Amino acid sequence: MNKPNLSRLWLDWRSKNDSDGDVKSCSKEFIQKKKSCSKEVLQGLQPHYNIKRLEISFYPGSEFPTWMQMTDPLSSFPSLAELILNRLPNLEEWSLKWKEDDSLPALQFLQFSSCSRLKSLPVEICNLRSLKSLYIFSCDKLASLPHELSRLTSLESLEIKYCHSLRYLPVMGMQGQR
């Protein structure tokens, strides 16, 4: 998507008949088709590198397209300050393939909410030098957080709620906290 003046983007997969994103009433065939084409659709919706806020909601895919793996984030989204991943019911993991230690240099706010199958957070998020706020809500399968979370030296706010499988929290000194 070549829209250099677009600073905020919200990608929402709900249909008008599906106000809460629940697809329980749909046939298995429809659900499978929706999952398989969603990755292709999201790939085609790659925002311009100037984007400052990106929210993805109700995405039914089990994995993200290549631009969300951010193989070269410094040239992909150097201005991204807020990333919100909301109600991604089939996402089990978010594979990041960052080559640089200082990836997404402007990212200050990261939220995972209602990602019911997400088992782990990518260890690469521990390299987010500007991250001030990390919110993790209702990620039922999340069992642990990365050991390296203490490397988030700018982190001021860490909020974790309703992650019932979470059994491990890394020992961290919240070095950026005042």
pLDDT band at 30 (very low <50, low <70, confident <90, very high): low
**Lowest mean pLDDT across 43-52, 75-84, 93-102, 146-155:** 93-102
Q: pTM of the entire structure? A: 0.83
User: Residue 176 pLDDT > 50, yes or no?
Assistant: no
Report pLDDT for 85. 95
Report pLDDT for 89. 92
DSSP, collapsed to helix, strand or coil, labels residue 158 as strand
The size of the chain, in residues, is: 178
Asked if 167 contacts 143 with a C-beta cutoff of 8 angstroms, the reply is yes
Structure-token pair, residue 38: 């969603």
- Which alpha helices (H) appear in 1-107, and where do they start and end? 28-44, 66-69, 73-76
Structure-token pair, residue 53: 């806020």
Q: What does the pLDDT average to over 166-172? A: 77
Q: What does the pLDDT average to over 107-128? A: 92
**Lowest mean pLDDT across 10-19, 49-58, 141-150:** 10-19
Walk across the sheet containing 157-161 and list its strands: 8-12, 53-57, 82-86, 109-113, 133-137, 157-161
What span, in angstroms and rounded, lies between the C-alpha atoms of 84 and 114?
11
Report pLDDT for 87. 95
What span, in angstroms and rounded, lies between the C-alpha atoms of 84 and 161?
16
